[in-house]
Amino acid sequence: MNIGILLKEGPYNHQAADTAFKFAEAAIAKGHKVDAIFLYNDGVINATRLGDPPQDDRNIAARWTELSLKHGVEVLACIAASKRRGINDEVMIEGGEITGLGTLTDIAIRNDRLLTFGD
């Protein structure tokens, strides 16, 4: 099964980013392909590499980089949503990319499932 994920909230403030990651991890472990994680609304804040969470906490940005580099998951931030919230190529995490909503449409079309996580 090929899966796309739409993530609509930023890291730490809501559990959405955690649930999306745990779901993606479990899907990959079961042999499914997680095609892409598309960041929308405040979700684009997941794409900054400037985050510096406490040592004893999870590092959510690092999780996305890992999914991208190790498992070939495209991590994509919507450009219009990113611009509103100060996310751009300057601060982009490794493995992440800015793109448009057309790409989300492609993701919706080419995958068997599109799951949404948010608030």
Active site residues: 78
Query: Least distance (Å) from a second copy to the CB of residue 33?
Result: 29
Who contacts 37 (Cβ-Cβ below 8 Å, separation ≥6)? 4, 5, 7, 20, 24, 64, 67, 73, 74, 75, 76
Contacted entry of a second copy, other proteins, none for residue 51, CB cut-off 5 to 8 Å set by kind: a second copy
DSSP alpha helices (H): ranges in 36-117?
60-71, 79-84, 101-110
Minimum CB separation of residue 71 from other proteins in Å reads: 14
Is residue 119 near other proteins by the rule CB under 8 A? yes
Residues 54-93 that bind a second copy (CB under 8 A): 54, 61, 80, 83-88, 90-91
Chosen residue from 36, 39, 40, 77 binding other proteins by CB under 8 A: 40
Q: Is 12 in the site for other proteins (CB under 8 A)?
A: yes
Which member of 8, 36, 48, 76 binds other proteins (CB under 8 A)? 8
CA distance 27 to 49: 25
3-state DSSP assignment of residue 88: coil
Rounded Cα gap, residues 35 and 52, in angstroms: 27
